[in-house]
Amino acid sequence: MTSKTNKDSVHSLASLKLFHDLVTTARRRTGRLQKELADALSIDAQVLSRKLHGARKSFPTHAEVKQIVKVLADWEAITTRAEAVQLLSVMGLKAESFSEQDWVSAPLNKLELAPAQMSPSSTVPALPLVAQAVPLLPGPTTALIGREYQVELLLNQLQQDSVRLLTLFGMGGVGKTRLALEVAHAVQPAFADGVFFISLLSLREAALIPSTLVQTLQLNDPVAERSTDKQGPFSHEEVLKNFLRHKQLLLVFDNVEQIPDIAPFISNLLQSAQTIKIMVTSRVLLHLYGEYEFDVPPLTICTSDQVTNPAAFEQFAAIRLFIERAQAVNPAFRMTQHNAETISRICTRLDGLPLAIELAAARSKVLPLSKILQWLTDGTGQTFLRSTAHNMLQRHQTLQATLDWSYELLPPSYQALFRHYGVFVGGWTLEAAQAIVLPDNQPVDLADVLEQMEFLIDQSLVKRMRLDEMSSEENTEPRFHLLETIREYALGQLDAAGERAHVQRRHASYYLDLVERNESRLSGPEQLAAMALFFHEQGNLRAALAWATEHDENEIALRISSALGRFWEARMQFHEAMRWIDVVFNMHADSALTARAKLHMGAARLALWEIGYGRARELAQEALTLYDKAGNRAGRTWALFQIGDSWLMQGDYRSASPYLEECLRLLHEQEDWRNYAFTLSRLGALATLQGNIRQARLWLSEAMQLLREYNEPGVLIITLVTWGYSLLSRGNGVELLLSA
């Protein structure tokens, strides 16, 4: 049985899409959300969304169409009766759907009878045009996935009067052209004279742009008298300026990075035609005054290892794109419980780059997913990721070609800088760039480094890390990074130039100096800042250690791993720490005694955390021997403490006492009062556990005084607890209350 609502429904999906686009464009002019429109119609937002998209055979009724028109008029999202009639007509209604009383009553009475006409300037001579421009946009061949937020942002920007030049920039293969086309289609109703797409793919010279634009706008070149005393054909530039002078349209220039001198042309066009807007896609910024920049990001990837449900994986746009493109070559392809994690890792390995994901998905036709992931992981992915599609740009048919294109656009000096940045893992600071990347014979200050970095950022090769990716302690220290696919390419260029060994040695030397300079800060008032620094540099520190161990750089490996002991301990990265320490132990190094001793001490502390008391003592005893050979009294002191502490943790208080007491004596000699207080506290606890309360109170009393003086609240609290326990053990609760 057919209801009246269904009879009133509009069944043309094409008309519905146009209606939806018109309503969305009008709504966005006023900054209104679709939920607000649903509220005004007194229906649920999801129901309205289904009706505007024709989902589940649900369509707006005629009454709802009329109400939508009234709401838009009330919001002043439409301002003319012609716009209202267009909305009605698209949905199969006539102007007479509203009575004369409706048209002269609120809110429809706000609408002008006709749009204001713009009168051309009388001072500008008119040029004859044989043809009028007809907007024509290429149709998308695939669905746009995961770009809803970016589309919304770009539409909002284009509708702002102040935005006349909008540049979508990003690395090759990130999807700039596809995003621009989606925005261009969606924004068409906002431009009375249309939206035009101009591909500059085949051009290399700015001088050829005017004729290309004339052809795109379907304008004929008129031949007329310029004046009474000078004859000749009008130039393409004059034809364009005359035609565009009072037009309200959007020009979309695609692939502008390959034309070095295009910026002056675009600037001149905007100045001569002040009612047009221009959107460009490029790998580089134009650097024009008034240019609004939009950095096109990769698709979202899954960074969590905890996701196990395939449905949860599909919320990430990169994974959805992989699935769709894999199904295009293999309709039976499905994401399952077994392959979800592999798909996620492939997309993560490809940094969420749409081109790379599409190329990898196409390979799933002949390769198992595990093999694709293996090839991507071992560094051969850039060569096997290729497409045979005839309608794909040649430079997009392989990932290697796409990156070659960007690299070859760089001046030679910047090519060298870029490939050197490939040595960094997990990002870098300006200081690191100055120390590692720049040539020895070219001293520059940090301002020069920053300027060079900005150039590579503008080329869509280097990225600056967002503040929310960094801890608050380092917000003032900018960090930069390469996407992993770009970093691999840079390393390949570094190899090809024969520079990799030299740059990696500088990298390892810099990070050795960094950890040794900051090791002492891992305890004390600067601990949090030092921990944050080491945390952000973990990728580089691991890379430096790996290079040192692989190239038998024993001294560098030993010193870095020794300095990282307290960091690994504080972060409870016991497995990783012992793996590196075991590797270094197996290196036959003729290294400094103190460095070897420090490594043994770090290993001893880690063993203690894992309740390996005997192993901890064995390592600390070896450290004690090495410190004694080196004549290092400070090192001997802490080796003694470590041995005593291992006995204490094991519950053998009698064996622990002589080591801790000897440690206390050495600290007194060295006048290291902060650590002296810490050891007093530990001895006080030991004496309490042995039932020697008198001695315990002597040590604890002195410890509390020093800890207050040196502002050590954490150790002081533990000492007070021990003090209280010693008093309670003697039944002296009154004294405990008085001392609290």
Asked if the model's pLDDT at residue 594 lies above 70, the reply is yes
The CA distance from 312 to 415, in Å, is: 41
The CA distance from 438 to 421, in Å, is: 10
Tell me how many helices (H) and strands (E) the chain has.
37, 10
The CA distance from 365 to 362, in Å, is: 6
pLDDT band for position 307 (cuts 50, 70, 90): low
DSSP 533-544: HHHHTHHHHHHH
Angle 153-267-164 from CA coordinates, rounded to 5°: 25
Query: Could you tell me how far CA 53 lies from the centroid of its own chain?
Result: 32
**Which two tokens mark 557?**
């490996």
* Residues 531, 533, 537, 538, Cα dihedral to 10°: 0
Residues 6+ apart with CB under 8 A from 658: 644
Average pLDDT over residues 349-370: 86
> Which of 279, 292, 356 shows the shortest CA–CA distance to 325?
356
Residue with tokens 């009706």: 51
> Which of 572, 634, 635, 662 shows the shortest CA–CA distance to 608?
572
The CA distance from 546 to 551, in Å, is: 8
Residues 6+ apart with CB under 8 A from 272: 241, 244, 245
**Which two tokens mark 522?**
């891992």
User: For every residue of 235-273, which 3-state class applies, written as one string?
Assistant: CHHHHHHHHHCCCCCEEEEECHHHCCCHHHHHHHHHHHC
The CA distance from 646 to 608, in Å, is: 7
pLDDT band for position 472 (cuts 50, 70, 90): very low
The region of weakest confidence among 315-329, 674-688, 718-732 is: 718-732
Average pLDDT over residues 514-524: 88
> Which of 194, 530, 482 shows the shortest CA–CA distance to 491?
482
Single-letter code of the amino acid located at 554: N
Asked if the model's pLDDT at residue 40 lies above 50, the reply is yes
Between 142 and 434, where is the model more confident? 434
Asked if the model's pLDDT at residue 225 lies above 80, the reply is no
The CA distance from 651 to 657, in Å, is: 11
Residue 66: the pLDDT is 92
Asked if the model's pLDDT at residue 399 lies above 80, the reply is no
Asked if the model's pLDDT at residue 513 lies above 90, the reply is yes
Beta bridge partners of 627: none
Residue with tokens 């020069």: 448
Residue 266: the pLDDT is 93
Q: Are the CB atoms for 278 and 187 separated by under 8 Å?
A: no
* Residues 82, 184, 455, 493, Cα dihedral to 10°: 180
Diameter of the chain measured on Cα atoms: 119
Query: Could you tell me how far CA 56 lies from the centroid of its own chain?
Result: 37
Burial class (CB in 10 A: 0-12, 13-18, 19+), 709: exposed
Q: Are the CB atoms for 544 and 556 separated by under 8 Å?
A: yes
The CA distance from 124 to 500, in Å, is: 62
Report the run of H or E that residue 524 belongs to, with start and end: none
**Which two tokens mark 89?**
């007509």
Asked if the model's pLDDT at residue 46 lies above 90, the reply is no
Asked if the model's pLDDT at residue 216 lies above 60, the reply is yes
Asked if the model's pLDDT at residue 3 lies above 50, the reply is no
The region of weakest confidence among 9-13, 154-158, 174-178, 694-698 is: 9-13
Dump pLDDT digits (tens) for 47-62.
888 788 776 667 888 8
Residue with tokens 């169409």: 65
Q: How far is CA 180 from CA 158, 264, 277, 496, in A?
A: 12, 22, 14, 36
pLDDT band for position 514 (cuts 50, 70, 90): very high
The CA distance from 355 to 366, in Å, is: 19
Q: What is the DSSP letter of 731?
A: T
Single-letter code of the amino acid located at 111: L
**Which two tokens mark 20?**
């939806």
The CA distance from 619 to 584, in Å, is: 14
Average pLDDT over residues 76-88: 86
Residue 502: the pLDDT is 92
Average pLDDT over residues 496-500: 92
* Residues 454, 458, 463, 465, Cα dihedral to 10°: 60
**Which two tokens mark 378?**
């071992």
What backbone phi and psi angles, to 5 degrees, belong to 291?
-75, 130
Q: Are the CB atoms for 443 and 463 separated by under 8 Å?
A: no
**Which two tokens mark 61?**
């009724």
Beta bridge partners of 198: 253
Average pLDDT over residues 206-218: 82
9 C-beta neighbours (distance < 10 Å), count: 21
Q: What is the pTM of this model?
A: 0.62
Residue 463: the pLDDT is 87
Cis peptide before 107 (omega within 30 of 0): yes
pLDDT band for position 270 (cuts 50, 70, 90): very high
Helical residues (DSSP H) of 351-445, grouped into ranges: 354-363, 369-377, 381-384, 399-408, 412-421, 430-436
The CA distance from 573 to 154, in Å, is: 44
Give me the chain's average pLDDT, please.
80
Residue 2: the pLDDT is 39
pLDDT band for position 547 (cuts 50, 70, 90): very high
Residue with tokens 């209350």: 737
The region of weakest confidence among 119-128, 209-218, 597-606 is: 119-128
The CA distance from 133 to 216, in Å, is: 8
